[in-house]
């Protein structure tokens, strides 16, 4: 498996990097399941085939969008959300 340098350095600092990676993958899987459940609860008729077909068709986020997402997550984790724009 190849990793960006910053992630490899982060993992090098942990005695059990496998556990760190497993936890991150599980969190991602849970987020995906949560989004899927929310969409289905909102009335979307999702199929495994439709999800597979749509995967990878959205444009990549810009650096500004990624930074906005990181700020939002930090605010959420701190217990307060920024004002809507």
Furthest CA-CA distance within the chain: 45
Split at pLDDT 50, 70, 90, the class of 61 is confident
The answer on pLDDT for 64 being more than 90 is yes
What digits encode the pLDDT tens for the residues 1-47?
Answer: 888 999 999 999 999 999 999 999 999 999 988 988 998 899 888 88
Residues 61-84 have a mean pLDDT of 82
Distance linking the first and last C-alpha atoms of the chain: 39
Residue 10's pLDDT is: 92
Backbone angles phi, psi at 60, to 5 degrees: -65, 150
Domain ranges of the chain: 5-58
Alpha helix ranges (H) inside 1-85: 5-12, 17-41, 48-54, 63-77
Predicted model pTM: 0.51
């Amino acid at each position: 498996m190849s990793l960006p340098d910053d992630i490899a350095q982060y993992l090098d600092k942990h005695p059990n990097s496998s556990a760190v990676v497993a936890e991150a993958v599980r969190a991602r899987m849970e987020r995906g399941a949560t989004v899927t459940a929310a969409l289905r609860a909102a009335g979307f008729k999702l199929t495994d085939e439709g999800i597979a077909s749509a995967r990878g068709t959205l444009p990549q986020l810009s650096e500004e969008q990624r930074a906005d997402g990181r700020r939002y997550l930090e605010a959420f984790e701190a217990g307060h959300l920024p004002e809507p724009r």
